[in-house]
Amino acid sequence: MENFIKIKGLTRKQEIAVINQLKDRESSYHNVPGWTNIDMFWIDISDINTQQPDGTTNNSIRLGGTGDQDSLEADVAKGLSTTVPLLSLWDSSVSENDLLDWFNRVEEFSRQGYTRLPAVRYVRDKPTEFQKTEQDAVDDFRAVANRRNGQKPITDNEVIELLGNRFESHLPIDDEDKFEDLKDKMVKYLEKLDLGLSSNEIKGKANTVIRDFKRRGNVEYFSREDAESWTQKMNDYWNTQYEQTLDDKFNINPNVVNAKDSTRVLRMFKQLMKDFVETKEPYEFITFNSGATSHDEIDDGVKETLEELDELQKLVIDYVNTYHYVYDGGTHTPTWDYKGSIPQKINKDGSIPKNDIGLAS
């Protein structure tokens, strides 16, 4: 069978022939936990419901658009793709022909003059432990329909949003063990949906949602971009206040440091030293913590940042004093001695060149 079938203006007999071609193909159907297909049929596009009662588009998991419009137009112009599942309908509390996927695609078929499309009807069947409501089941279907091989794959943010919405009902939680149990359930849920995510990606998204849950009502999240934007606004405010009041407390223009872990301090310290050499002034900075989920974690992050800075400065001073003691005279003398590299280069004859002490030559 061709990858695309012409389906515009078919007779009823031709429509039946298309159904007979498609009905036994596994690729025509979605395999979604808690759902089963019961029928394949043709439907007038005008009979497909794509809206909620309030008139908004009923595509519950998409946070943005649904893909490259140029690519979609080109695909639809070729006809019906036989390599992806057909459009999916179900008999919901809103409409007997409620659309589950293909929102942009149905619109594009209509725009290009198509009036009828082949469809598959699904019904809920053996709901999973994570599908407590009708909307849970629908969201799962749409997530699977947009797994990492669709017209526009489900995005990381959409998976995180889906995960957060699904498990928000478990809050509030004040026990660390319960958070671990909830994370295990999140991992199990995403594994069951099979969205094309690796094991590490699944665990990472579960951790992201758990951190957000821990922060709720307790810590406001700041990313690096958020922190820099906040600081820029405050720098403008402090500058204005200083010009108007000449109060020295407003005479600041601090840099921003993430107090999440010590690696940020190491990166900052080089800039701190360069700044001091150039200005002869202390390096002003303020902190934020992109990983904190509690007040204690914020305070601990600041404390560890200041302690790490103090230790680094003492080390640098000891280093400089020792350097001048060993290499008196002020000339630049390296305090390192490069001995060579581990042999890794393979010649065309398969040999690995080494010098007389076994290092790379």
Phi, psi of 87 (to 5 degrees): -60, 145
- Which of 2-6, 145-149, 244-248 is predicted least confidently? 145-149
Q: Where are the domains of the chain?
A: 4-129, 246-326
Helices (H), the chain: 12-22, 69-78, 103-111, 134-145, 156-167, 176-193, 199-215, 224-245, 262-279, 295-326
For residue 146, pLDDT over 70 is answered with yes
DSSP 169: G
**Cα three-residue angle 280-285-289, rounded to 5 degrees:** 155
Averaged pLDDT score across all residues of the chain? 89
**pLDDT tens digits, one per residue of 16-30:** 999 999 999 999 999
Report the pLDDT value the prediction gives residue 55, as an integer from 0 to 100: 62
**pLDDT tens digits, one per residue of 25-45:** 999 999 999 999 999 999 999
Cβ(197)–Cβ(163) under 8 Å? no
For residue 64, pLDDT over 70 is answered with no
Q: Which pLDDT band, with edges at 50, 70 and 90, does 61 fall under? A: low
320: nearest Cα among 310, 333, 309: 333
Sign of CA dihedral 52, 56, 150, 81: positive
Cβ(287)–Cβ(257) under 8 Å? yes
For residue 58, pLDDT over 80 is answered with no
Paired tokens of 150: 């669709």
Report the pLDDT value the prediction gives residue 69, as an integer from 0 to 100: 60
Q: Which pLDDT band, with edges at 50, 70 and 90, does 150 fall under? A: very low
Mean pLDDT of 79-108: 91
304: nearest Cα among 265, 357, 256: 265
Query: For domain 4-129, which CATH number applies: 3.30.460, 1.10.8, 3.90.1530, 3.40.1350?
Result: 3.90.1530
User: CA 187, CA 224: separation in Å to the nearest integer?
Assistant: 27
User: CA 165, CA 163: separation in Å to the nearest integer?
Assistant: 6
Instruction: Express the helix, strand and coil content of the chain in percent, nearest 5 each.
Output: 50, 10, 40
Sign of CA dihedral 301, 307, 311, 316: positive
- The packing angle between helices 262-279 and 295-326, to 10°, is 50
303: nearest Cα among 249, 262, 254: 262
